[in-house]
Structure 1
Amino acid sequence: MILPRPVSFTRGDGEVPFDGTFQVERVAGPAEGYRLSVSAAGVRVRASDDAGEFYARQTLRQLSGPAAFRAVPPGAVALPVCEVEDHPRFAWRGVMLDVARHFLPKHDLLRYVDLLAVHKLNVLHLHLTDDQGWRFESRRFPRLHEVGGWRPDSRFGDRRSGGLAGRPHGGYYTQDDLREVVAYAAQRQITVVPEVDVPGHSQAAIAAYPELGVSGGGVWTDWGVNPNVLRADESTVDFYRQVFDELLDVFPAEVIGLGGDEAAGGDGRFVRRIAQHLHQRGRRPFGWDEVLGVGPLPARTIVASWRGEEPGLTALDRGHDVVMCPEEHVYLDYRQSDHPDEPIPVGTVTTLEDVYRYEPAAADRVLGAQANLWTEHLDSPRRLDYAAFPRLCAFAEVVWSPAERDEAEFLARLAEHHLPRLDALGVEYRPLAGPRPWQALPGVPGHPR
C-alpha cells in the first residue's frame, strides 16, 4: 500500500488509533532512511536525519488513508500494525520541469513541489530559460524578463503543422518568488536546481538584448531547435557571468544548470567559461550531455544523459558524476499510448509500464535519475497533470525502491491505494484505461514516432 515501495514492510494483526503524534529519535543508518513501528504501544520513528523523518511522515500519511491527502485531513485515524524499514536507492531522484516553453504560475509550481514530496522525490530541476521565454527576474538586465518573458504567439500543436494558436503567452518569477519556492521546497527535503540554458535555446535573451546573438529576432513562437545562438565574444560571456551571479544569489543549491544542449554551431568555449565561473563560485555545473563535446570541464561538472545512456557512461569514464534521464525511457511529455484520443501525440509511446521497467545503466555508479517534463504541448496545469501522472508514480518507485520489481503488484497497489490519494489531492491524472473525454484534444496536431 506504500508508494514508492519501502525496503521492507511487515504487516501485523489489527489496527491502532493514530492522532498524528509519534515518538522520533535519531539513529545511525543510511542517508534519508527511517524505521517506522506501529504497535499497541504507539507510533515510533527512528530516522537517520531530517530527511528520513520527513519521509517517515509521508509514509504515515499514506497509511492513514486517502482522506489524509485532502486540504482538511481527518482527525484521528486507524493505522495498521506494521514495521517499515526504508531508505532510498539513489541520492538524485529528480524531475525536470520546463517552465520556459509554458509558464507555470507560482501557485501551481508550489503545488508541484508538494506532489514531488508525496512521492519522495528530492530534486526539482527548473528549466527557466529557452527560445520561447525567460522566466527569471534579472535586476541587472531587466529587459531579459520584461521583453524575453513574453512571446506574441505559440505553435498550435506540433510545429510541422505550421499553425499558430493566435494568443500571446508569458510570465516570469520574481527573485522573491523563487526564494519562496526554494524555501518551500527545502521544508519538504527538495533541492531546487535552476537552469539558464547557454549558448543555444537563447532566443528570448537575444530578443531582449540583440547584441548577444549571432543574429537578431524576437522571442521565438516556434518549437524545435533554433539555429540562432549566443555570440562567443568576451562581452557576451561577461554578461552571462553577471546573470549567473544573480542566479546564485537566489538559489543556494550546490548544483547550477547551464544547459549546453542542441546548440547548432554553438561555441564550446562559451560553455567552458561559464562552467569555470560556476566552479570558481563554489558551485557544481550541471549540463546536458552535449557538454562532453566542448572540451575540458571542471571535474565536478554533473552530466545529464538524455540522448540515451551511452553519453552518461562516457561521462562516468571521464570522472564526472551522472544523472540518467534518457528520452526513450523518462520523457513524460511523450505520448502514453497509441489510443486514438491521446492528446497531442508526440514522440514515442512511453507507457506507465515502460517507465516502471526502466533500470538506470551503471546504477551503482550514477548519482541517480530524473524524469523530464518538456512543456511545448503542456500549456496548463491540467495538461501537466495528465502527462506526469501516474507515470511519475512509477518513476518515483524506480529511483527510491530496491531494484527488484513486481509490475503486477505495483499496478494493483497503484490502482487500489495510490490513485485514490491523487484523487484526494486533485491531480487530473490519465486513467489507466485511457484519457477521459475532456482530456482529449481533437484537432490539435501531433507528430507520433
Structure 2
Amino acid sequence: MTATPATPVTAIPAPSSCVTGEGRFTFTSTTRLTADPALARAAEWTRQVLTPATGLRLPEGPGGVEFRLVEGLAPEEYRLTATTRSVLIEASAPPGAFYGAQTLRQLLDPAAYRAARTGERAWSIPEVTIRDAPRYGWRGCLIDVARHFLPKPDLLRYIDLLAAHKLNVLHLHLTDDQGWRLEIRKYPKLTEVGAWRRESPLGARRHRLFDGRPHGGYYTQDDIREVVSYAADRFVTIVPEIDLPGHTQAAIAAYPQLGNLATPLEVRTEWGVGENVLNVSDETIAFFTDVLDEVLELFPGRYVCVGGDETPKTQWNESVPAKERIRELGLRDADELQSWLMRHFTDYLLARGRKPLGWDELLEGGLPPGVTVGAWRGHTCTAMAARAGHDVVVSPFAETYLDFRQAEGDQEPVPIGSVTSLEAVHSFDPVPPGLAERDRILGAQAALWTEHIDSPRLLDYMAFPRLAAFAEAMWSDERDFDDFLVRLAVHEKRLDALSVEYRPATGPHPWQRRPDAPGHPRTRAEIDRELAIWTSNLHP
C-alpha cells in the first residue's frame, strides 16, 4: 500500500494506493446517498449497514456519497475519493462498487460495525484518494459443515464476514463420512439417516475419547436457496462439494446399496480417512447423477466440487463387481477405476456448462480439459496441474488450513498439525517459485476443516485474525506485516463490534481453551515428510 506517512487509513486488506489529505468528510443528518442504477445494490447495502449504527438515514439524492458508473476499471476494481464536501466511489461493475462500500465502512469509527447506536458521536472519514483492485480473482474460504454442522444463521454471518474482507468464494464441504448436510428430494434418507451420527471424537483420534452426544443437522433446499441468494447479494459465490467416491459413509449408511459390503453401516463416528467407499455399479452412478441434478438446481455458480480425494482402494481390490468392471473397461487397476468414475462426473458437469473442481489426487489418473484442480498437497501438485493446462485453486494444507494450531504450547484448543502463524498466512503466495504458467493460478482459499471445531465460537477463534491476513495476501500486491499489525489493532475493534471471538495476540482467553479435548501437535518437519510421501508418485 502506498500512502502518506501519517495515514490514518487502517483498511484490511490494504488498498493498492492510498493518499490522505488534511481534512475530513463529516456525515450529518442532511448527508444523502445516490448511485447510478447499475450500482444501486452497493448503495442500498451501504445504507442498510450504516443506518442502524449511526442513526443517519442517508436518503436518496445528491449532496454526500455518490456511487458513479465509469469505464476503464476491472469488475472488482474501484476508486474512492473523499473530500471535505463529498465522497465519490467509482466502479465499472457492481462488485467494484460493493468493495468500495466495504472500504468506506472501514474508514469510519469501528462502532459503524455495531447493529445499533451506542451513543452520540461524530461520524467522519479522512480526506483520501484510494485506487484499489484485487491481486487474484479467486479469494475463497472452505467451511466444512459435514464434520460439524454450522446452523444457517451462523453460515449467513460468515458470508458477511467473508464479504467484509473482500473474499468472494465460500466453498461448502457438504458431505462426508460423518454427515450429509444437503436435502435431496429424490433420496430423503440422505438427511433422515445421513445427517446424524451417534457421537463424535473428543479431541484427536489417537486418544480414543468420545463425547457420547448425538450430532447432526442439515440444510433444506429452501435454506440453500436463501444462503445462495444472500451470498450473491454480497458478491460471494457458493461452491458446493459433494465428495466422491470416498468420504461417503454417511450416504452408504442411508442407502446401503451404494456400498461394497453386505453388512449395514452407521454414519461414521471417527475422524480420518475411512475405508468405506462407493461401489461402481450403474445404479450407484445413476444415484449420484440424480443427486448432482438437484445440486445444479440449487447452486447456479459455475463451479461444483466433486472431491476425488483420499479414496482407499481396499474394498475395490476385494470386490468381485469392481474387478469385473475393471476387466470390462480394460483398465489396469483400481486407481484407473477411480479415474474412470470421476471422469464420468466431470464430463457430466462439463456437458451442463459447469466447471468441475476436484482435489489434486485426480491428477494421478489424468484429467480431461476443463477440470479445475484444488491443490492441497503443496507446490508440486500446483505446478503439475498448471503445467498440464488446468486452472488451479491453491489450498496447501501446511499454509492455509486454519484448523492447524496457531502457536506452540498446550494452551491452544485441540492443537493439531504444525503451527500456522498469523505471519505465515499473511506472507502466503499461491504461485510456486519459477512457475511459468502463472495465469493458470486462479487464486487460493483458506480451509476451516471442522473435525476439531465443534462450535461457532471455536470457528471464530480458528478463523480470525488469520482469515484477515489471508484476505490481504489474496488482495494486496504489496504486503508489510508490521504495518498489517498496526492496522489489525484497529480491525480487531471492528471484529469486537461484530462479536467475532478471534484469538488474541497474547493467546486464548481461558474460555477459549479446551483441556477436555487433547490434540496431536506435530512439527513442520513431520508435516513435510508426510507431504513428501503423499506426492512421491507424482511426476511434475
Written as runs of structure 1 = structure 2, the 5 A alignment for 1:351-366 is: 351-361=421-431, 362=435, 364-366=439-441
Q: Which residue of 1 aligns with 2:483?
A: 409
Q: Which residue of 2 aligns with 1:442?
A: 515
Confirm or deny: 8 A CA contact 1:149 1:171 kept in the other structure: yes
Match of 1:275 among 346, 349, 352: 346
Partners in 2 of 1:373 and 1:20 — Cα distance? 40
The AA in structure 1 aligned to 2:24 is E
Q: Give 1:7 deviation, angstroms.
A: 0.4
Q: Which residue of 1 aligns with 2:131?
A: 85
Q: Which residue of 2 aligns with 1:100?
A: 146
Tell me whether 200-209 or 274-283 shows the greater mean CA deviation.
274-283
Alignment of 1:49 onto 2:93: yes
Q: Give 1:352 deviation, angstroms.
A: 0.6
Partners in 2 of 1:193 and 1:87 — Cα distance? 23
Partners in 2 of 1:213 and 1:270 — Cα distance? 15
Q: Give 1:73 deviation, angstroms.
A: 5.3
Q: CA RMSD in A?
A: 1.3
Partners in 2 of 1:9 and 1:184 — Cα distance? 31
Q: Which residue of 2 aligns with 1:129?
A: 175
Match of 1:317 among 387, 403, 411: 387
Q: Which residue of 2 aligns with 1:236?
A: 284
Over residues 289-324 of structure 1, what are the superposed CA-to-partner deviations in whole Å (9 max), with x where a residue is unaligned?
Answer: 111123332x11110100112112111111110011
Partners in 2 of 1:284 and 1:427 — Cα distance? 34
Partners in 2 of 1:296 and 1:414 — Cα distance? 42
Alignment of 1:253 onto 2:301: yes
Q: Which residue of 1 aligns with 2:66?
A: 23
Q: Give 1:425 deviation, angstroms.
A: 0.3
The AA in structure 2 aligned to 1:373 is L
Q: Which residue of 2 aligns with 1:331?
A: 401
Q: Give 1:163 deviation, angstroms.
A: 1.1
SS at match of 1:243: helix
1:79/1:178 CA distance change after superposition, 3 Å = same
Confirm or deny: 8 A CA contact 2:15 2:131 kept in the other structure: yes
The AA in structure 1 aligned to 2:507 is G
The AA in structure 2 aligned to 1:271 is M
Confirm or deny: 8 A CA contact 1:20 1:76 kept in the other structure: no
Q: Give 1:102 deviation, angstroms.
A: 0.2
The AA in structure 2 aligned to 1:366 is I
Q: Which residue of 1 aligns with 2:323?
A: none
Runs of 4+ in structure 1 off by over 4 angstroms are 73-76
Confirm or deny: 8 A CA contact 2:23 2:83 kept in the other structure: no
SS at match of 1:81: strand
Give me the identity figure in percent. Answer: 54
Where does the alignment leave 5 or more consecutive residues of structure 2 unmatched?
A: 1-9, 34-64, 314-334, 523-540
Confirm or deny: 8 A CA contact 1:102 1:379 kept in the other structure: yes
Match of 1:390 among 465, 477, 490: 465
Over residues 253-279 of structure 1, what are the superposed CA-to-partner deviations in whole Å (9 max), with x where a residue is unaligned?
Answer: 110010000011162222111111111
Where does the alignment leave 5 or more consecutive residues of structure 1 unmatched?
A: none
Match of 1:5 among 3, 14, 23: 14
Alignment of 1:34 onto 2:98: no
TM-score (norm 2): 0.81
Q: Give 1:339 deviation, angstroms.
A: 2.7
TM-score (norm 1): 0.97
SS at match of 1:41: coil
Partners in 2 of 1:99 and 1:20 — Cα distance? 41
Q: Which residue of 2 aligns with 1:218?
A: 266
Partners in 2 of 1:293 and 1:235 — Cα distance? 26
Partners in 1 of 2:480 and 2:25 — Cα distance? 29
Tell me whether 376-385 or 357-366 shows the greater mean CA deviation.
357-366
Partners in 2 of 1:186 and 1:214 — Cα distance? 40
Alignment of 1:425 onto 2:473: no
Alignment of 1:190 onto 2:236: yes
The aligned length equals 446
Alignment of 1:206 onto 2:281: no
Partners in 1 of 2:367 and 2:162 — Cα distance? 34
The AA in structure 2 aligned to 1:327 is F
Written as runs of structure 1 = structure 2, the 5 A alignment for 1:137-216 is: 137-215=183-261, 216=264
Q: Give 1:392 deviation, angstroms.
A: 0.2
Alignment of 1:113 onto 2:155: no
SS at match of 1:367: strand
Partners in 1 of 2:451 and 2:214 — Cα distance? 14
Confirm or deny: 8 A CA contact 1:339 1:434 kept in the other structure: no
